[in-house]
Structures are given as C-alpha cells and as structure tokens.
Chains A and B, each alone.
Chain A
Amino acid sequence: KNQVEQSPQSLIILEGKNCTLQCNYTVSPFSNLRWYKQDTGRGPVSLTIMTFSENTKSNGRYTATLDADTKQSSLHITASQLSDSASYICVVSLSGSARQLTFGSGTQLTVLP
C-alpha cells in the first residue's frame, strides 16, 4: 500500500531556531515529492516540488532534500519565524498517475516567541 509517514507529529521551537522535519514514503512508482504548508483553516500551499533526480531544492528559508534510494525526504526551516507555525505536509505523486497525490499526516510546527 502506498504510504507517506512523517515525523515528528508535532514540534515546538523558539523563534529564530532551525528545525528539520522528516518524511518516509513507500509510494511506487514515484514521480515527485512535494512539501506543503497548511495554516489552520486554510488550504495547503506548495513550498517545494522535487523529482526523483533532484536531491535538494530551496524556497527562501525552506530547504527540502530527497533521497530516492532510501525513500526519505526532509524539510529544513532556517531562522524560524512566528508565521512558520503551521502543519507541514509531505505529499508524494505516483508516476503514471500524475494527477493523484498521497498525503502524509503532517508535522504540526509551533514557533514560540
């Protein structure tokens, strides 16, 4: 069964600190891996998209890594801000089913002042 598992489930950090969120997946055949940010009561917003041939991609203070061999990805947030408080969701797209995304449960990040 295609699955996406994220850890930790929740994380609390102080403003200005860095953090790393993890994602493991068993989706196959793999097309691409996405990280989304979902604020409470809002729809998910795309942060990064990586194909199997990419192993790192940055978007401002967000840097995603991908190891397609071990089927692992991470999202690193640098110099966290209060507005980073949100759920971060790892999403994997099936190859040959490019329109279908498999979502993880998300990591709930809380940034405290």
Chain B
Amino acid sequence: EPEVTQTPSHQVTQMGQEVILRCVPISNHLYFYWYRQILGQKVEFLVSFYNNEISEKSEIFDDQFSVERPDGSNFTLKIRSTKLEDSAMYFCASRLPGRENQPQHFGDGTRLSIL
C-alpha cells in the first residue's frame, strides 16, 4: 500500500537556525497537510495546501513557517528561525481529491529537537 514518507526521522537544530522538513505524499493525492504534536499534547493543524497554494493555516503557522511543493513530488515545511518551542513531532498528510470525507494518510513524522 502506498505510504506518505517523511525525512529525516529526527532533526536536531540549534535555536535560530533554519530547518526544512521533507515529505513525499502519495502520488495521486492532491491535498497536503502539515500537523505538529508537541510531546504529550494533541496533534495540531498547521497548514493545508492544494493547487500549489495554501488553502488554510492555523494561528500557529506564522511568518516563520512556509510550505512549498518544489518539484511535483516533495512537499516541504520550512521554519526560518527556529525557537525552543518549535520542538515537536511534525506530521505530513495527504489525501485524494473529491469529497471532504476522504481519509488523510499520515507519514510517521519528523521529530524536531531545538537546542
């Protein structure tokens, strides 16, 4: 069964540095998402992306965050100047086009640790 793949599985970065998290969604999916999960807390929506533009974003997704689909297969999340509170598990998800109750397929996440 096709899977969403995320790299790296664990990223350690110094505070203030830029970080790029990478995702390869399932190939025929057209809707893409980023979520984060701070240790011990709920999964939180960050941003959705469709047709090469952001569809929706949460209040968490401020100017430090950006997303891109640079080459038709990868979907990236960039954090420009990381803060300690950005330490979390970041999940990418994708789904098929069509009705909104299509399931979202999640990757296994990137654990981001900010030092």
Contact = CB atoms under 8 A, between A and B. Distances in A.
Interface of A: 31-32, 34, 41-46, 49, 51, 89, 93, 97-106
A49 B103 contact: yes
A32 B100 contact: yes
Nearest to A91: B43
A104 B43 CA distance: 8
Contacts of B56: 97, 99-100
A32 B102 CA distance: 10
B91 interface: yes
Nearest to B9: A41
Contacts of B101: 31-32, 49, 51, 93
B100 A103 contact: no
Interface residue SS majority, chain A: strand
B25 interface: no
Contact of A99 (B33, B105, B107, B108): B33
B113 interface: no
Interface of B: 4, 31, 33, 41-45, 48, 50, 55-56, 58, 91, 93, 100-101, 103-109
A83 B48 CA distance: 32
B42 A46 contact: no
A99 B31 contact: yes
B69 to A, nearest CB: 15
A15 B6 CA distance: 33
A43 B103 contact: no
Query: Which of A43, A51, A100, A106 counts the most B-chain CB atoms under 10 A from its CB?
Result: A43
B103 A34 contact: yes
15 contacts: A41-B108, A42-B108, A43-B93, A43-B106, A43-B107, A43-B109, A44-B91, A45-B106, A46-B105, A93-B100, A100-B45, A100-B58, A103-B42, A103-B44, A104-B42
Contacts of A97: 56
A107 B109 CA distance: 20
A101 B45 contact: yes
